[in-house]
Amino acid sequence: MKTPRAVVLVEGKSDAAAVEALARRHGRDLAAERVAVIPIGGAQAIRRALARHAGAAVTGLCDEQEAPEFRRALGAATDEELAERGFFVCRSDLEDELIRALGVENVERVLEREGDLRGFRTLQKQPQWHGRPPHEQLRRFMGSGGRRKVRYASLLVEALPVDRIPRPLEAVLAAVR
């Protein structure tokens, strides 16, 4: 890609996969639009990433617990001020947003289709996870194994009804129109 005209800074690879999957759903080719989606490797890298992309239009996405680091880096006092600067906060993280938007039963259908429902059922039987809400169990399952988190970020976005796309995800993509 030539020098990007816009940059979407996200914490990790799964966030990037979700943004790119949503762009595809909307029929957008981010590379052709010269929009780079860049995982920065965690919130502690936000200052460096902002400095590295100072000439481009920069937007981003972060998890709720990382929002204070983003607010400090961007000189924002509130999440609303972050949004005014093009940065959007997921409650509690993007996986949480996607699971809530899709619903536990529908996420389980995606797991079944992908051949992972049995593994999820095994996690549910483990003493530390037995009896916990299925939503929490799904978040844990998605987060175990680095590839699973990235893979399911795209799959869950693809499974979402268009009217259930989490607001932070939709907003970050809209910010780079």
Full pLDDT tens readout for the chain, 177 residues: 678 999 999 999 999 999 999 999 999 999 999 999 999 999 999 999 999 998 889 999 999 999 999 999 999 999 999 999 999 999 999 999 999 999 999 999 999 999 999 999 999 999 999 999 999 999 999 988 768 999 999 999 999 999 999 999 999 999 998
* 169, 82: one domain: yes
- Give yes or no: residues 75 and 91 share one domain: yes
Q: Give the whole-angstrom CA distance, residue 8 versus residue 62.
A: 11
Rounded distance, CA 130 to CA 28, Å?
41
| CATH assignment of the domain containing 75 | 3.40.50
pLDDT of residue 143: 87
Contact call for residues 33 and 1 (beta carbons, < 8 A): no
Residue 91 and residue 106 share a domain: no
Are 53 and 115 part of one and the same domain? no
**Domain check: are 107 and 49 in the same one?**
no
Residue 39 lies in a domain: yes
Instruction: Report if residue 1 sits inside a domain.
Output: no
pTM of the model: 0.95
Q: Are residues 30 and 63 in the same domain?
A: yes
Q: Is the dihedral of CA 85, 166, 151, 148 positive or negative?
A: positive
Task: Please count the structural domains in the chain.
Answer: 2
Domain that holds residue 122: 102-151
Identify whether the C-beta of residue 63 lies closer than 8 Å to the C-beta of residue 42: no
Residues 13 and 57 occupy one common structural domain = yes
Do the domain assignments include residue 166? yes
Residues 91 and 33 in one domain: yes
pLDDT of residue 80: 95
pLDDT value of position 146: 62
